[in-house]
Structure formats: structure tokens, C-alpha cells
């Protein structure tokens, strides 16, 4: 028997993780700026998360959301300290895709409309509903027909927002497009989007599965724009490495939902609740968003200094510790060289190296990653010139 592989094999067998580092089977240490697509933002084996999971493992592991349990009660108190403003209701699921599925169902039920607006270069997941609002045709076309009607508008284009009208149930947007190339939204774009959705009665879903939980320098990336979502989806970092996602809703939307509208066998299981509880404690007690903001600013500056002489570097962009190096060529070879320098990174869009490091990174780590990026770009440039 063999496991199906839908991801390209990186050629490493990882056996251990601690903080911002992982080790392969040969004992070689790597700086992990891949972090499981950003999941390990609080660091591998965060001691608070491990403590809560271990304690819960010795109590009860499986329990339907139909039953109460003390860890869920504690989780609710901790989530209340970090939740998005005015979104006082939450439902726990297992993945970002599941959170998006629920959000799409909700906007259709609440508005009694069908049409969804998404954006070019967006990524929201690979299940049928989430895939329907994901831009990349490579992901979508083999599985069509999908959820309809869905229309894709150009990201950061204010003029096209006029196409949002009273037929639109909801608009789903990433405050920074991650998979699409680490592309931050513009202030005026997000403000205009909020204004027009309020005017048309369309619900605004902000997808913070990758951007949320402190990574961009604020607990939630939408807070950079001074707006308020109707629905927010979160995941990845919120479980401290444990698979869990959350949909946050205001009271008026939650009141429109009924028993049986959604469900999840594992959603909000005791282990997930323990992981979220611990992660919220770490986020607040360690002032993680502030650290991400400060370290992100330092890291961006360092990358700009180290890479400024490369003509192949179009732009270094991002917020906090969500950083992209946009190149004039496919970054795959550069990412391989970076890995050879014992730094793990990942691709975004068609031309971007993406760094999603844990908040624990040090200045020495940043130097390490910057030097690795420089070597990766330099070697790739040289091969392109000589080929």
C-alpha cells in the first residue's frame, strides 16, 4: 500500500520539531519558514499547547458538540479575549476549507440569494464549495461544474466593485492573498468593499485562515483596514499545530441559523478545544501580534538590504510575518537551493517565494533566511543566464 501524494515531495524525512526549527532523520537542523503552510506560527510543540493537549488526552478525547465539557467552557472564555470585534458566536470545525463551506452556506441562507463574489488569485480551499471561490483554474476545472453562480473580480480594483449588487449573497476576500502571491489588499479597496456590501445587503466574509491569529501584526488582519466583517473564518495557527478551524458570527446572523443547518463529527472535539484554549493564552500572554509586527518589519528590511541588487526581484511585500519575495521567474529552483541552505520556504502564486515563520524567530534566524534567499536567487539567476 502507498499513500497518495497530492503535494510535490520535498525529499526530506522530518522527525522532530521544536520552536522555529525542525530536524530530519539524519539529525540535520532546518529553520522552518514553511511551518506547515503557516500552521506552526506559535512554534512546533509549543509548551502550553502540549501541556493542554496532554492533560486533555488523559481525560476525554472524543465528544459530540451535543454534550458540554469543561474544556469547551474554558475555551470560550479564552476565545472571548481574542475574537473579532462584535462577532460573539463561534462554530468549530477541522480545516479552513470546512470553515469556508459553512460561511458560504450561511450567506445563502441568511440573504436568500445565491450569487457569490470572489477575487482573482484567491485561494479558499479544495472542497467543492471552497474550490468554487478559488481562482486557480488548475484546481477548479477538473472538477466542474462546481457551486454557481460565482463571479471573480480583480483584486484591489475599486472600479469593479460596482458589479456587486442586490443579487449578491456574499463576498469572500482574503486581506492578504497568500496562495495567490502574498498580495496585501489596499486600504481603499477594503473600505470600499465594506461600504458596497453594506449598501447592497451582501454579507462580507473575510477569510483569515492564513492571515489570522497574530501573523500580520494584529490579531486579525482585517483590523489593519478599520472595517468590520459580517463573517470571519480562521484556522491554521489558531490550534497551535492541532487541526481546527473556526467561523465567527455576529448575534443577528447566528439567530437566523437553526438546528441541523450544519454539523461536524470532530468539530470542537475536546482536543481541539484544548489546543485553541492554549493557543489563545499564548497569543495574549506572549503579546504575539506585537512580536510579529516588530519582527516582520525587521525581517522585511533585512531582505530588502540583502536582495536589493537583484534585478530579478520585483518586490518584497507582506505584513508582519507573512512575507513574499516576488521574482521575475518561477521560484521553484530558488526554493530548492534555500532548502539546501537548511531553510524551509514555500511557493506562492507563479513567481513568489513565501516565508511564514513562527513568531519565535530571532534576528540570527532572519539573517540565516536572508542569506539563503540571496543564494537561492543568485544561483537560479546564474543558471538562467547560462542556459
Residue 8, pLDDT score: 87
- Average pLDDT over the chain reads 97
Summarised one tens digit per residue, pLDDT across range 301-313 is 999 999 999 999 9
Return the sign of the alpha-carbon dihedral for residues 269, 272, 276, 278. positive
Percent of the chain at pLDDT exceeding 70: 99
105: Cβ–Cβ under 8 A, 6 or more apart, which residues?
A: 129, 261, 262
Summarised one tens digit per residue, pLDDT across range 254-272 is 999 999 999 999 999 999 9
Kindly state the average pLDDT of the residues 261-289: 97
Half-sphere exposure of 160 (CA within 13 A, CB side): 12
What φ, ψ does residue 236 adopt, rounded to 5°?
A: 45, -100
Residue 384, pLDDT score: 73
Q: Residue 170 burial by CB count (10 A; 0-12/13-18/19+): exposed, middle or buried? A: buried
Asked if 326 and 336 touch (Cβ cutoff 8 Å), the reply is no
387 pLDDT more than 70:
no
Read off the pLDDT band of 358 (50, 70, 90): very high
Asked if 108 and 114 touch (Cβ cutoff 8 Å), the reply is yes
Residue 381, pLDDT score: 86
What φ, ψ does residue 22 adopt, rounded to 5°?
A: -130, 160
Kindly state the average pLDDT of the residues 5-10: 89
Q: Measure the CA–CA gap between 340 and 331, rounded to whole angstroms.
A: 14
Chain CA centroid to CA 78, Å: 21
CATH 3.90.1150.10 for domain 14-45+287-386, yes or no, is: yes
- Of 231, 188, 233, 192, the closest CA to residue 211 belongs to 233
Q: Measure the CA–CA gap between 246 and 208, rounded to whole angstroms.
A: 10
Fold agreement between 14-45+287-386 and 47-285 = no
> Which residues are paired to 313 by β-bridges?
327
SS3 sequence of 87-146: CCEEEEECCHHHHHHHHHHHHHHHHCCCEEEEECCCCCCCCHHHHHCCCCHHHHHHHCCC
183: Cβ–Cβ under 8 A, 6 or more apart, which residues?
A: 121, 155, 156, 176, 177, 317, 324, 349
Kindly state the average pLDDT of the residues 274-290: 98
Asked if 277 and 52 touch (Cβ cutoff 8 Å), the reply is yes
Asked if 266 and 272 touch (Cβ cutoff 8 Å), the reply is yes
Q: Measure the CA–CA gap between 295 and 363, rounded to whole angstroms.
A: 8
98 pLDDT more than 70:
yes
Kindly state the average pLDDT of the residues 275-279: 98
Asked if 182 and 176 touch (Cβ cutoff 8 Å), the reply is yes
User: Could you give the C-alpha distances from 320 to 84, 244, 297, 372, 387, in angstroms and in order?
Assistant: 18, 23, 7, 20, 37
Summarised one tens digit per residue, pLDDT across range 193-244 is 999 999 999 999 999 999 999 999 999 999 999 999 999 999 999 999 999 9
Kindly state the average pLDDT of the residues 347-358: 97
Note the CATH architecture for domain 47-285: 3-Layer(aba) Sandwich (3.40)
4 pLDDT more than 70:
yes
Read off the pLDDT band of 337 (50, 70, 90): very high
Q: Where are the domains of the chain?
A: 14-45+287-386, 47-285
Residue 271, pLDDT score: 98
Summarised one tens digit per residue, pLDDT across range 101-112 is 999 999 999 999
Residue 386, pLDDT score: 67
Residue 385, pLDDT score: 64
185: Cβ–Cβ under 8 A, 6 or more apart, which residues?
A: 155, 156, 173, 174, 175, 176, 177, 225
Amino acid at each position: 500500500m502507498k499513500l497518495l501524494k497530492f503535494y510535490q515531495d520535498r525529499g526530506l524525512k522530518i522527525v522532530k520539531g521544536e520552536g522555529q526549527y525542525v530536524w530530519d532523520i539524519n539529525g540535520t537542523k532546518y529553520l522552518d519558514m514553511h511551518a506547515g503552510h503557516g500552521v506552526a506560527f506559535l512554534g512546533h510543540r509549543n509548551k502550553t499547547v502540549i501541556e493542554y493537549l496532554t492533560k486533555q488526552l488523559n481525560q476525554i478525547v472524543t465528544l459530540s458538540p451535543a454534550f458540554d465539557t469543561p474544556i469547551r467552557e474554558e475555551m470560550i472564555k479564552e476565545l472571548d479575549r481574542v475574537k473579532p470585534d462584535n462577532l460573539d458566536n463561534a462554530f468549530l470545525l477541522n480545516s479552513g476549507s470546512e470553515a469556508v463551506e459553512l460561511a458560504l452556506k450561511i450567506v445563502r441562507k441568511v440573504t436568500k440569494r445565491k450569487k457569490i463574489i470572489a477575487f482573482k488569485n484567491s485561494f479558499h480551499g479544495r472542497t467543492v464549495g471552497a474550490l468554487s471561490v478559488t481562482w486557480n483554474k488548475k484546481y477548479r476545472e477538473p472538477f466542474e461544474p462546481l457551486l454557481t453562480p460565482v463571479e471573480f473580480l480583480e483584486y484591489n480594483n475599486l472600479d469593479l466593485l460596482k458589479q456587486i449588487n442586490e443579487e449578491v449573497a456574499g463576498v469572500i476576500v482574503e486581506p492578504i492573498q497568500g496562495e495567490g502571491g502574498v498580495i496585501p489588499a489596499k486600504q481603499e479597496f477594503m473600505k470600499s468593499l465594506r461600504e458596497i456590501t453594506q449598501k447592497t445587503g451582501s454579507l462580507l466574509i473575510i477569510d483569515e485562515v492564513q492571515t489570522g491569529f497574530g501573523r500580520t501584526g494584529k490579531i486579525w488582519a482585517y483590523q489593519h483596514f478599520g472595517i468590520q466583517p459580517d463573517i470571519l473564518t480562521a484556522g491554521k495557527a489558531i490550534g497551535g499545530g492541532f487541526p481546527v478551524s473556526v467561523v465567527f458570527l455576529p448575534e443577528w446572523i447566528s439567530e437566523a441559523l437553526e438546528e441541523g443547518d450544519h454539523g461536524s463529527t470532530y468539530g470542537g472535539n475536546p482536543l481541539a478545544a484544548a489546543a485553541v484554549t492554549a493557543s489563545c493564552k499564548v497569543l495574549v500572554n506572549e503579546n504575539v501580534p506585537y512580536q510579529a509586527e516588530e519582527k516582520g518589519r525587521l525581517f522585511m528590511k533585512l531582505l530588502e538590504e540583502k536582495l536589493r541588487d537583484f534585478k530579478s526581484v520585483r518586490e518584497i511585500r507582506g505584513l508582519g510575518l507573512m512575507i513574499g519575495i516576488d521574482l521575475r521567474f518561477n521560484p521553484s529552483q530558488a526554493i530548492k537551493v534555500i532548502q539546501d541552505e537548511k531553510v524551509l520556504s514555500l511557493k506562492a502564486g507563479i513567481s513568489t517565494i513565501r516565508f511564514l515563520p513562527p513568531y519565535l524567530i530571532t534576528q540570527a534566524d532572519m539573517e540565516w533566511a536572508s542569506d539563503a534567499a540571496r543564494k537561492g536567487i543568485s544561483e537560479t539567476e546564474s543558471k538562467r543566464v547560462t542556459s
